[in-house]
């Protein structure tokens, strides 16, 4: 048995940051991960370039049952703080989509920066270590592992969510939270493609690969970005964004020609060029194949002059206000994050410590804080990791 001041379980983005900060305070730190390689989710993120933060990271870009919880951590360690760290290590980066920062080179640079920082701060970093049990008692916690037992006064859980199980993601953090009596907001796949039932897929057959700029809404939440038709349903940034808010059996609304009143366009064309076909008007605003399929599904053909305005309005609504109920999502296999997690009402927003279990901390994706697409989730990992590292 070896005793540490702080044990961090999970050597991902938040766990690495926590280990660095705790080590800088002179704490004796042990960082454990069950995977054979450290920081796998960092490695595969952003197409291997790591979208490590967003210039516009702010509390309103996060989803939670307690949306104000993230304010303190994000304010205490900002995107500019992490950008400064990246610059100090000479890692070249660029802004892709507005606000989204990516490494010019491989994501491994971020992993090397963090693992190097952890070791420089004195942290003992161990991969390929199975966690077999955690118990509380005496002066802290006992962690039973495949490498033996380790004791600590502060235990930080940074084990992430269930997204991307192929790299080892599990529900360990949620199980541990429940073991200690904490509530867990039901986890769901987030930032994930949505799927359709067989009949809907048949009506969209042949459209896979077509992309349009769209506004996608669920309730009062909406996102304007690219939408992509797939063999299973819909993907693209707009769909990934809305998926974190969507609830099963509920409809989403899609405007595939935002800013354009298709009914007005069709009526104007009917008056000016009555012999024109409706799909020709649609094709001025949509990819030709999509315009053709919409016209076919609506059962309209021939001349605009022969089509009643009521049917033209219905066609326009199928573009400007397409209301569709997804059958489900592609699940954790392709989800970029997990929504839900440890209930923030059980944690301190300043330190991430459990209110009812002194010395126990939860950070990163394990907590009920989910960022929008584009580096926001990494920023939450950095910020929450620093918050716990400064206190544990």
**pTM for this predicted structure:** 0.96
Say if residues 142 and 151 touch (Cβ distance below 8 Å).
yes
User: Do 2-187+337-389 and 193-330 come out as alike in CATH topology?
Assistant: no
In this prediction, residue 301 carries a pLDDT of 86
User: Tens-digit pLDDT profile for the chain (392 aa)?
Assistant: 799 999 999 999 999 999 999 999 999 999 999 999 999 999 999 999 999 999 999 999 999 999 999 999 999 999 999 999 999 999 999 999 999 999 999 999 999 999 999 999 999 999 999 999 999 987 899 999 999 999 999 999 999 999 999 999 999 999 999 999 999 999 999 999 999 999 999 999 999 999 999 999 999 999 999 999 999 999 999 999 999 999 999 999 999 999 999 999 999 999 999 999 999 999 999 999 999 999 999 999 899 999 999 999 999 999 999 999 999 999 999 999 999 999 999 999 999 999 999 999 999 999 999 999 999 999 999 999 999 999 99
Q: Cα 29 from chain centroid?
A: 29
- CA atoms 229, 232, 236, 242: torsion sign: positive
Distance CA 286, CA 269 (A): 16
In this prediction, residue 296 carries a pLDDT of 94
Tell me: the pLDDT tens digits for 293-315? 999 999 998 999 999 999 999 99
Distance CA 73, CA 222 (A): 26
Q: Please, which residues have CB within 8 angstroms of residue 238's CB and are 6 or more apart in sequence?
A: 214, 215, 216, 223, 224, 225, 226, 227
Of 376, 104, 322, the closest CA to residue 207 belongs to 322
Buried b (16+ CB within 10 A) or exposed e, 290-311: bbbbbbeebebeeebeebeeee
In this prediction, residue 44 carries a pLDDT of 96
Task: State which fold the 2-187+337-389 domain adopts.
Answer: FAD/NAD(P)-binding domain (3.50.50)
In this prediction, residue 138 carries a pLDDT of 78
Give the CATH number of domain 193-330; options: 3.30.360.10, 2.40.30.10, 3.30.750.24, 3.90.420.10. Answer: 2.40.30.10
Break the chain into its structural domains and give their ranges: 2-187+337-389, 193-330
């Amino acid at each position: 048995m070896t005793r540490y001041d702080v044990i961090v379980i999970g050597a991902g983005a938040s766990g690495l940051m926590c280990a660095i900060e705790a080590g800088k305070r002179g704490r004796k730190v042990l960082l454990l991960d069950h995977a054979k390689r450290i920081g796998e989710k960092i490695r595969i993120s952003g197409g291997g370039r790591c979208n490590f933060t967003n210039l516009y990271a702010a509390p309103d870009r996060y989803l939670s049952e307690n949306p104000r919880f993230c304010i303190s951590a994000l304010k205490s360690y900002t995107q500019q703080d992490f950008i400064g760290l990246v610059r100090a290590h000479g890692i070249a980066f660029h802004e892709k989509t507005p606000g989204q920062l990516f490494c010019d080179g491989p994501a491994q640079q971020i992993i090397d920066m963090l693992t190097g920082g952890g070791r420089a701060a004195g942290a003992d970093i161990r991969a390929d270590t199975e966690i077999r049990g955690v118990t509380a008692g005496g002066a802290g916690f006992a962690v039973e592992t495949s490498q033996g037992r380790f004791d600590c006064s502060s235990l930080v859980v940074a084990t992430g969510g269930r997204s991307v199980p192929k790299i080892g993601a599990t529900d360990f953090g949620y199980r541990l939270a429940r073991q200690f009596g904490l509530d867990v907001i039901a986890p769901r796949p987030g930032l994930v493609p949505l799927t359709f039932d067989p009949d809907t897929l048949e009506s969209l057959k042949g459209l896979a690969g077509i992309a349009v700029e769209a506004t996608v809404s669920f309730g009062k939440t909406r996102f304007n970005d690219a939408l992509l038709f797939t063999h299973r349903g819909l993907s693209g940034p707009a769909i990934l964004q809305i998926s974190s808010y969507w609830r099963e059996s509920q409809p989403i609304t899609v405007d595939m020609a935002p800013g354009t009143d298709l009914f007005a366009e069709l009526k104007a064309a009917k008056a000016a060029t009555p012999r024109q076909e409706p799909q020709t008007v649609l094709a001025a605003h949509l990819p030709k194949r999509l315009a053709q399929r919409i016209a076919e599904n609506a059962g309209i053909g021939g001349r605009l002059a022969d089509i009643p305005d009521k049917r033209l309005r219905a066609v326009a609504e199928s573009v400007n206000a397409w209301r569709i109920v997804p059958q489900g999502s592609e699940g954790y296999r392709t989800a970029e994050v997990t929504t839900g997690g440890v209930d923030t009402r059980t944690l301190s927003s300043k330190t991430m410590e459990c209110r009812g279990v002194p010395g126990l901390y939860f950070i990163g994706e394990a907590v009920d804080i989910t960022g929008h697409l584009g580096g926001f989730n990494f920023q939450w990992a950095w910020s929450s990791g620093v918050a716990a590292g400064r206190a544990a």
